[in-house]
């Protein structure tokens, strides 16, 4: 049976799309956003950076945002609340509460065991391995949808998950497949 007790997973980045349900005058918004950049000829939105929580926001006149760099969902909620508070002070009217949709979560992790990636690539379904191009096996999980990069050291990167639970489920499926095909040695 797959044992997850030794496995480590850590959130490295979360990307979310947000609808503020408000139209924004970006010329006014740029004045209240510290550490921001706006060049409409180059990009149609404001690139705004917050130090606390440490995130970057792409702010569009439609009231839509992309938030990236967060280490937790709470950081995204805090950043959106902070921006809403700033926008309220310049008279922005919101028709309802912001809607946050997690698009992608990236995790780093450690399976705490080493792998022969040539052997893994030969028998593991849904994977790619081109060692001349990239030093890890690329394993695709269909449900929940995620991609896991597996390195010979047992280190992993999981991306595409929409929640921490999805990431754990994807890792569990990878470990199950590795066990099923005899690629995990049982402890003596």
> Is the Cβ–Cβ distance between 136 and 94 less than 8 Å?
no
Q: What whole-number distance in Å separates Cα of residue 162 and Cα of residue 76?
A: 14
Q: What is the pLDDT of residues 47-102, one digit of tens each?
A: 999 999 999 999 999 999 999 999 999 999 999 999 999 999 999 999 999 999 99
Check: CB of residue 123 under 8 Å from CB of residue 178.
Answer: no
pLDDT digits (tens, 9 = 90+) for 159-177: 999 999 999 999 999 999 9
Task: Report pLDDT for 188.
Answer: 34
Portion of the chain with pLDDT greater than 90, in percent: 93
Can you give the pTM of this predicted structure? Answer: 0.91
For 120, the enclosing helix (H) or strand (E) is helix 117-123
Report the alpha-carbon distance of residue 35 to residue 123 in Å, rounded.
50
Q: What is the pLDDT, as a whole number, of residue 45?
A: 97
DSSP three-state, residue 175: helix
- pLDDT given at position 1: 61
């Amino acid at each position: 049976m797959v044992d997850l007790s030794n496995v480590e997973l850590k959130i490295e980045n979360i990307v979310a799309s947000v609808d503020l349900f408000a139209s924004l005058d970006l010329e006014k918004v740029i004045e209240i956003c510290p550490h921001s950049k706006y060049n409409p000829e180059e990009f149609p939105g404001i690139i705004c950076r917050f130090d606390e929580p440490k995130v970057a926001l792409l702010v569009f006149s439609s009231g839509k945002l992309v938030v990236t760099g967060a280490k937790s969902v709470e950081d995204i909620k805090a950043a959106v609340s902070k921006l809403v508070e700033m926008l309220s002070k310049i008279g922005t009217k919101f028709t309802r509460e912001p809607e946050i949709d997690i698009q992608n979560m990236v995790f780093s992790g450690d399976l705490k065991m080493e792998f022969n990636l040539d052997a893994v690539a030969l028998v593991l379904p849904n994977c790619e391995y081109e060692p001349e191009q990239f030093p890890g096996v690329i394993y695709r999980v269909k449900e929940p949808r995620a991609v896991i990069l597996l390195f010979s050291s047992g280190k992993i990167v999981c991306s595409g998950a929409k929640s921490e639970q999805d990431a754990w489920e994807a890792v569990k499926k990878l470990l199950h497949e590795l066990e099923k095909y005899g690629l995990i040695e049982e402890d003596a």
